[in-house]
Amino acid sequence: MNILMVCLGNICRSPLADGLLRHKVERDGLSARVDSAGTANYHVGGPPDERMTETAIQNGIDISVLRARQFEVADYDRFDLIYVMDKSNYHNVTRLARDEKDIEKVKLILDELGHSNSIQEVPDPYYGGQAGFDHVFDLLDRATDVIIEKLKYG
């Protein structure tokens, strides 16, 4: 199973989702491949935002080696599942889809938390304070736990 995490800049939310899922895949000895990308090209080649890197490190996850890249159509061939953080990401990714099969691969990551979850989108923490980064960590930690359960038990 190849899984891609996508946000806008690929420096805050999707690198964390990538790092969390990679960490849990390795921890549990699973064979999934995990990567991340942004719909925009502003930060291509750069490291994750240092506030996100620091929040991750505080929680035992190292995302410092990741580098931003832009989502491209070929990602539809490389990945089985494409998790987006918000509806804007969903729109930007699916408008590059070539057919229904591509579109079916794209999911809002918080949909994995089920219908009891009141929030559908992972808020962009870029222009906010530390509480926003902590909130993103909590949401993505929970969502990646569900993804891991699905990888294990289908």
Determine the angle formed by the axes of helices 130-153 and 13-27, rounding to 10 degrees: 40
Q: Which stretch binds ligand 4NP (CB under 6 A): 6-14, 73-81, 101-109, 144-152?
A: 6-14
Per the CB < 8 A criterion, the answer to whether 30 and 73 are in contact is: no
Alpha carbons 80 and 104: distance in angstroms, whole number: 10
Give catalytic status of residue 22 as yes or no: no
Select the residue whose beta carbon is closest to ligand 4NP and give its number.
Answer: 9
Would you count residue 54 as binding ligand 4NP (CB under 6 A)?
no
Hey, is 26 helix, strand or coil?
Answer: helix
Strand 33-38 vs strand 81-84: parallel, antiparallel, or unpaired?
unpaired
The one catalytic residue among 67, 95, 124, 138: 124
| CA–CA dist 67, 99 (Å, integer) | 29
Determine which residue in the list 13, 22, 24, 105 makes contact with ligand 4NP, applying CB under 6 A: 13
When binding is defined by CB under 6 A, the residue of 41, 42, 62, 120 that contacts ligand 4NP is: 42
- Is 90 a binding residue for ligand 4NP by CB under 6 A? The answer is no
Q: Is there a contact between 15 and 48 (Cβ–Cβ < 8 Å)?
A: yes
Candidates 47, 103, 107, 126; binder of ligand 4NP (CB under 6 A) is 126
Residues that bind ligand 4NP (CB under 6 A): 7-13, 38, 42, 124, 126
Catalytic residues: 7, 13, 124
